[in-house]
Amino acid sequence: MPRSPPAFSSTSLCVSIPIAFLMALATDPNVTGAIQVALEPRFIPYYVIAIGLITEIARRRTISRVP
């Protein structure tokens, strides 16, 4: 007699728990308020500069490793 597969595999369980956690965080008013404050237009130039610096550092490290 063939066995039926389990309702939830370990992979789907490992994926669904973090998704449920992120969905709960996204609906929390404290978290959404903090995200809205962090995304204010006055902070965007700092994010652009930080991302540019990190990208340049990573690029230089990668270039220095190429033989």
Contact 64, 57 (CB under 8 A): no
DSSP string, 48-62: HHHHHHHHHHHHHHH
Confidence (pLDDT) at 49: 97
Query: Which residue in the block uniquely carries the two structure tokens 């309702």?
Result: 7
Confidence (pLDDT) at 35: 86
Give me the count of residues in the chain.
Answer: 67
Q: pLDDT of the chain along its 67 residues, tens only? A: 566 655 556 667 677 888 888 888 888 889 889 889 988 999 999 999 999 999 999 999 888 776 6
d(C-alpha 54, C-alpha 34), whole Å: 24
Confidence (pLDDT) at 22: 86
3-state helix, strand and coil shares in percent for the chain, rounded to the nearest 5: 80, 0, 20
Q: Report domain extents, the chain.
A: 41-67
Contact 37, 31 (CB under 8 A): no
